[in-house]
């Protein structure tokens, strides 16, 4: 079977044609992502593929980092949560705890009082008529709504289901419930995941619709699926309702794609170099590093299989209940903003900006604006060299101030440098309040990036670097670093952040018992020591050998002794961080930085063919699978056993014997799995598995039973 894989990243959109039987890429294309009109970038990538092969495609699979980047940068559509059974006063008292999960704005919550049956002596429902009457008032200023019930397992999520039915009748916005996404016991993770789901619905819907339009224009009417965070795929119908399942869509695709490329290198060595790669990858394990335009994703492969996350995914400020592959997502990419502090210290931010070289290629006024600013040698800590670019039109949209509407109206004409926009607005540039517009993805900035440095250093040749040189003159004034030294300084910052990120993953996985203390804050000083000594050793090893060292002769490791000698002379201790696994690099800019990082970690870098389109390959190569969980709850009155209760779609069934409850639970599980499989478009022979686990107080066979957990999975045969 022939399939199409499409990946839309923050910077580039990739497309491949994949032969499933042979496991090979037949053709590949790459184009810039056009956020203001996603269809253009998708069409440009597809148009690089042979028409005769496109016509043979029987399916299309998608991956995207749009959701990942939105989470990392805390952007997305405006959303609200309807919380049922929560205590508003307690929420306000614990607002710092809520904020630690990403829920930092309590005004985005509507709270209904209720007590679920099965938990309280006097349970009661929310005031459903009041909700119906005031639904428009509650949710008029949002694009989508999520619903979360406290203790949903006690009544099978009945409150959520009822509220969803009412809101769908009264509102035009999409409405989703937490109970459909996860059975997570941590209620704050559930809230965070549901809020993200609501914020991402418009974003993923726009992406899916853009793909459909492009495919239909080319006469391709094929089923479309999208990658989930666990490396499996789901059909578009699910993605429209549960986009939170795609928050690690792009990273998951890159892991699957990287694993497929690595396996191909092991299985089919064709020359001396690939034979060397085969030796590197012979255990079919490695660390996959995917560097894109916005983020760098780090994952692990063991025995050919991606490592799964044991807990819910954490990304940016968000702690979620979404299960997926173990991926460490770092704000580091080709388009990461290079900025400076008020004290003139150069640093890499974690947010994406449009590279100035790209903006200058699209708008002729960018170069003269930068040249004028550089000639003035203007000193400011406010990144005055950056441009504001309008991405979305909010004309007439409620919820934005008159000032925000005016800013967007001015930027409709063309992108403006900071000083000029401030002048047009009649204010000092420090008082340009565009934070909310940037957070909502309405405005995107353009500035200096590693991609721009790659152009100046000759590692990337698609654009002209003249505008970047003028921007570096502006940076030089504010950082006191000569402009000609800035490209090397920025390269070093990229390598350093990549080293720190990989090092953190290595230590956390090698010493899991210490993972709680191996956070960024605590590890930073330790990794700094590792990094500085690794740098010193590389510098020492590259120095010319002395006459005495030359006498070691070939094959006697004289160079190694030289490096050891320099290391011992440098200080009182030698600290080394070594990776036991090779680094498998994918993504467009990875070849520039990963080899140096591999040297610092005393391992080897492997960058396979088609590394630049690994995400698109991963989308096509992902498999279909379903995992579900069901809880049968034991109910007591005091010490007296009452029954075992089981809920299916909000309806309660009770049983007296565990065997009877398990038998019924397996039937419910089978229906759940088949329903989910149908939603994912899984047909043909299906392989189903179930596991039953009794949980008892005291964790012994004679302990008091409090629940029976049934876990099921189904995959395509």
Q: What is the pLDDT of residues 59-68, one digit of tens each?
A: 899 988 878 7
Name the pLDDT band for 699 (thresholds 50, 70, 90).
Answer: low
Angle between helices 590-600 and 520-542 (to 10 degrees): 90
Mode of pairing for the β-strands spanning 704-716 and 305-306: unpaired
**Residues β-bridged to residue 296:** 291, 330
User: Picking from 47-61, 66-80, 464-478, 549-563, which range would have the lowest pLDDT averaged per residue?
Assistant: 549-563
Give the tens place of pLDDT for each residue, 521-543. 778 888 999 999 999 888 877 66
Radius of gyration of the chain (CA): 28
Best CA proximity match to 470, nearest among 345, 381, 357: 357
pLDDT above 50: residue 552: no
User: Picking from 34-38, 132-136, 576-580, which range would have the lowest pLDDT averaged per residue?
Assistant: 34-38
The predicted pLDDT at position 70 comes to: 78
| Planar angle of CA 635, 641, 647, nearest 5 degrees | 30
Q: Is residue 368 part of a domain?
A: no
**Residues β-bridged to residue 652:** 647
Q: Is residue 705 part of a domain?
A: yes
Give the tens place of pLDDT for each residue, 190-210. 898 899 888 888 888 888 899
Domain limit, last residue, from 168, 199, 230: 199
Mean predicted lDDT score pLDDT of the chain? 85
Query: Do residues 1 and 59 make contact, with C-beta atoms less than 8 angstroms apart?
Result: yes
Neighbour tally for 267: CB within 10 Å: 10
The tokens for 308 are 């799964």
Give the separation between CA 407 and CA 409, rounded to whole angstroms: 5
Mode of pairing for the β-strands spanning 59-64 and 224-227: parallel
CA atoms within 13 A on the CB side of 184: 23
Mode of pairing for the β-strands spanning 605-606 and 296-302: unpaired
**Residues β-bridged to residue 225:** 61, 235
Q: Is residue 129 part of a domain?
A: yes
pLDDT above 90: residue 471: yes
**What CATH number corresponds to the domain at position 174?**
3.40.50
Give the separation between CA 280 and CA 88, rounded to whole angstroms: 56
Domain limit, last residue, from 180, 199, 218: 199
What is the domain range of residue 413?
386-443
Give the tens place of pLDDT for each residue, 344-364. 999 999 989 999 999 999 999
Mode of pairing for the β-strands spanning 651-655 and 640-648: antiparallel
Give the separation between CA 51 and CA 616, rounded to whole angstroms: 18
Give the separation between CA 496 and CA 43, rounded to whole angstroms: 36
pLDDT above 80: residue 573: no
pLDDT, average across residues 546-569: 44
Q: How many domains in the chain? A: 3
Query: Do residues 586 and 290 make contact, with C-beta atoms less than 8 angstroms apart?
Result: yes
Q: Is residue 62 part of a domain?
A: no
User: Picking from 173-177, 212-216, 637-641, which range would have the lowest pLDDT averaged per residue?
Assistant: 637-641
pLDDT, average across residues 309-317: 76
The predicted pLDDT at position 271 comes to: 42
Name the pLDDT band for 243 (thresholds 50, 70, 90).
Answer: confident
Q: Is residue 585 part of a domain?
A: no
Does the pTM of the predicted model rise above 0.75? no
Would you report the helix, strand and coil content of the chain in percent, each value rounded to 5? 45, 25, 35
- DSSP secondary structure, 66-130, as one string: HHHHHHHTT----EEEEEES--HHHHHHTHHHHHHTT---GGGEEEE--B-TTT-SS-B---HHH
The predicted pLDDT at position 333 comes to: 93
Give the separation between CA 441 and CA 694, rounded to whole angstroms: 47
Mode of pairing for the β-strands spanning 354-355 and 443-447: parallel
- End-to-end Cα separation, the chain, in angstroms: 15
Burial 94-105 (b: 16+ CB within 10 A, else e): eeeebeebbbee
Neighbour tally for 147: CB within 10 Å: 29
pLDDT above 80: residue 274: no
Give the separation between CA 408 and CA 675, rounded to whole angstroms: 45
Give the tens place of pLDDT for each residue, 399-418. 789 999 999 999 999 999 99
Q: Is residue 379 part of a domain?
A: no
Best CA proximity match to 586, nearest among 43, 35, 25: 25
Neighbour tally for 512: CB within 10 Å: 11
- DSSP secondary structure, 7-73, as one string: EE-SSEEEEEEEETTTTEEEEEEEEE--TTSHHHHHHHHHTTS-HHHHTT--EEEEEESHHHHHHHT
- DSSP secondary structure, 425-462, as one string: HTS-GGG---HHHHHTTSEEEEE--HHHHHHHTTS--S
- DSSP secondary structure, 580-622, as one string: SS-EEEESTTHHHHHHHHHHHTTS-EE--TTGGGHHHHHHHHP
Give the separation between CA 249 and CA 240, rounded to whole angstroms: 14
Give the tens place of pLDDT for each residue, 637-688. 877 888 999 888 778 889 999 999 999 999 999 988 888 777 666 767 788 8
Give the separation between CA 614 and CA 593, rounded to whole angstroms: 17
For the ranges 27-36, 216-225, 481-490, 637-646, the one whose mean pLDDT is highest: 481-490
- Which residues neighbour 231 within 8 Å (Cβ) at sequence distance 6 or greater? 252, 253, 255, 256, 306, 324, 325, 622, 623
Name the pLDDT band for 265 (thresholds 50, 70, 90).
Answer: low
Q: Is residue 665 part of a domain?
A: yes
Give the separation between CA 666 and CA 270, rounded to whole angstroms: 50
- Which residues neighbour 532 within 8 Å (Cβ) at sequence distance 6 or greater? none
Give the separation between CA 257 and CA 622, rounded to whole angstroms: 8
Mode of pairing for the β-strands spanning 387-390 and 416-417: antiparallel
pLDDT above 60: residue 264: yes
> Looking up tokens 């993923």, which residue turns up?
204
Best CA proximity match to 644, nearest among 181, 635, 234: 635
Give the separation between CA 414 and CA 390, rounded to whole angstroms: 8
Give the separation between CA 403 and CA 489, rounded to whole angstroms: 38
Q: Is residue 89 part of a domain?
A: yes
Neighbour tally for 216: CB within 10 Å: 10
pLDDT above 50: residue 270: no
Domain limit, last residue, from 399, 420, 443: 443
């Amino acid at each position: 079977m022939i399939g199409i894989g499409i990946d839309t990243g923050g910077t580039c959109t990739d497309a491949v044609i994949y032969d499933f039987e042979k496991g090979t890429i037949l053709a590949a294309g790459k184009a810039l992502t056009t956020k203001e009109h996603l269809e253009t970038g998708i069409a440009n990538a597809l148009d690089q593929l042979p028409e005769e092969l496109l016509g043979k495609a029987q399916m299309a699979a998608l991956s995207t980092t749009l959701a990942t980047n939105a989470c990392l940068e805390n952007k997305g559509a405006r959303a609200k949560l309807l919380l049922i059974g929560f205590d508003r006063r307690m929420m306000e008292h614990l607002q710092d705890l809520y904020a630690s999960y990403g829920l930092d704005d309590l005004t985005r919550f509507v709270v209904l009082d209720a007590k679920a049956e099965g938990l309280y002596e006097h349970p009661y429902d929310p005031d459903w008529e009041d909700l119906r009457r005031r639904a428009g008032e509650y949710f008029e200023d949002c694009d989508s709504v999520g619903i979360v019930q406290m203790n949903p397992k006690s009544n099978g999520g009945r409150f959520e289901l009822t509220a969803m039915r009412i809101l769908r009748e009264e509102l035009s916005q999409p409405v989703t419930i937490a109970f459909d996404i996860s059975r997570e016991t941590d209620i704050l993770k559930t809230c965070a995941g549901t809020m993200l789901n609501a914020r991402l619905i418009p974003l993923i819907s726009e992406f899916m619709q853009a793909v459909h339009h492009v495919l239909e224009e080319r006469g391709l009417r094929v089923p479309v699926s999208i990658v989930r965070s666990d490396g499996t795929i789901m059909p578009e119908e699910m993605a429209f309702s549960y986009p939170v399942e795609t928050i690690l869509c792009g990273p998951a695709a890159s892991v699957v794609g990287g694993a497929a490329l690595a396996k191909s290198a092991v299985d089919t060595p064709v020359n001396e170099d690939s034979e060397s790669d085969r030796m590197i990858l012979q255990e079919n394990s490695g660390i996959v590093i995917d560097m894109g335009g916005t983020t760098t994703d780090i994952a692990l492969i063991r025995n050919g299989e991606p490592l799964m996350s044991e807990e819910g995914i954490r990304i940016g400020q968000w702690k979620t209940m979404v299960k997926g592959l173990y991926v460490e997502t770092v704000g580091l990419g080709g388009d990461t903003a290079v900025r400076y502090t008020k004290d003139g210290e150069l640093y890499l931010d974690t947010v994406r900006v449009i590279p100035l070289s790209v903006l200058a290629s699209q708008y002729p006024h960018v170069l003269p604006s930068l040249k004028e600013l550089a000639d003035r040698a203007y000193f400011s800590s406010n990144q005055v060299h950056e441009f504001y670019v309008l991405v979305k039109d909010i004309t007439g949209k409620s919820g934005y101030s008159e000032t925000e509407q005016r800013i967007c109206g001015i930027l409709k004409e063309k992108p403006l440098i900071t000083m000029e926009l401030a002048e047009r607005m009649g204010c000092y540039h420090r008082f340009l309040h565009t934070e909310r517009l940037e957070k909502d993805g309405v405005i995107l900035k353009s500035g200096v990036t590693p991609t721009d440095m790659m152009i100046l250093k000759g590692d990337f040749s698609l654009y002209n670097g003249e505008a970047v040189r003028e921007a570096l003159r502006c940076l030089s004034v504010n950082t006191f670093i000569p402009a000609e030294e800035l490209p090397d300084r920025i390269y070093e910052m990229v390598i350093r952040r990549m080293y720190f990120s990989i090092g953190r993953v290595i230590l956390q996985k090698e010493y899991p018992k210490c993972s709680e203390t191996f956070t960024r804050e605590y590890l930073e000083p330790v990794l700094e020591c590792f990094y500085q000594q690794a740098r010193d050793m590389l510098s020492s090893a590259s120095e010319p050998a002395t006459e005495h060292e030359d006498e070691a002769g070939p094959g006697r490791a004289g160079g190694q002794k030289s490096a050891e000698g320099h290391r011992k002379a440098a200080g009182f201790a030698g600290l080394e961080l070594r990776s036991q696994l090779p680094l498998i690099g994918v993504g467009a800019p990875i070849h520039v930085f990963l080899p140096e990082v591999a040297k610092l970690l005393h391992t080897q870098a492997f960058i396979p063919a088609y590394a630049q389109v690994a995400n698109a390959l991963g989308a096509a190569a992902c498999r279909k699978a379903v995992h579900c969980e069901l809880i049968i709850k034991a109910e007591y009155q005091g010490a007296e056993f009452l029954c075992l209760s089981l809920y299916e779609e909000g309806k309660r069934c009770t049983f007296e014997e565990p065997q009877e409850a398990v038998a019924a639970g397996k039937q419910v599980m089978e229906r759940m799995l088949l329903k989910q499989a149908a939603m994912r478009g899984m047909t043909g022979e299906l392989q189903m598995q179930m596991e039953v686990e009794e949980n008892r107080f005291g964790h012994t066979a004679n302990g008091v039973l409090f629940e029976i957990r049934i876990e099921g999975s189904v995959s395509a045969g």
